[in-house]
Structure 1
């Protein structure tokens, strides 16, 4: 007769923590032994959360690119405003001399 394990369920948080351990350098074999996991379940979690991690990384990269574009635009606007401010200051000086 075959010894079958009772089906266990794990929270999403636990699965993510196990995958994070794997990505931080702990070996697959150590994790499976320490948490008494089946290799197939562990591999499934790694695949699932690694693809989610890649997707999140892609989204973060896009967000960083958009932020970089926004920063460049704001820097250009600041430079333009500095120039305009300087011109207006000079204009005020000229007009104040004309009034005196």
Structure 2
């Protein structure tokens, strides 16, 4: 099985594809003509309809945003906890 090199597409190209689809051009025809993967095409349509942006951070739900914030906070607290444990060990030795 040969692997294809990962391609990147500009925002303008993605908008053009989505607009062609909204104008009535069939999904299968667009995918075949522009050699797109169905999952990428579906993602672009979903993102454009949701927020009008193709950036991941613009398309996150409030729950996803909260989860990312909590993960970041958890990582910070874990690091602080490890530092305090080390400090307690050092102080305990003296």
TM-score range, shorter chain: 0.5 to 0.7
> Bigger relative contact order, structure 1 or 2, given CA contacts below 8 A and separation 6+?
1
- Structure 1 residue runs of 4 or more that deviate by more than 2 Å after TM superposition: none
Distance (whole Å) between structure 1 residues aligned to residue 16 and residue 51 of structure 2: 14
Aligned length: 52
Q: Between Structure 1 and Structure 2, which shows a larger proportion of helix residues?
A: 1
Q: CA RMSD in A?
A: 0.9
Corresponding residue of 2:6: 7
Paired position in structure 1 for 2:44: 45
Counterpart for residue 69 of structure 2: none
Task: Please state how far the C-alpha of 1:31 moved relative to its aligned partner.
Answer: 0.2
The residue that corresponds to 2:25 in the other structure is 26
Please say which structure displays the higher CA radius of gyration: 1
**TM-score w.r.t. length of structure 1:** 0.50
Q: Which segments of 5 or more consecutive residues in structure 1 lack a partner in the other structure?
A: 54-100
Q: TM-score, structure 2 length as denominator?
A: 0.53
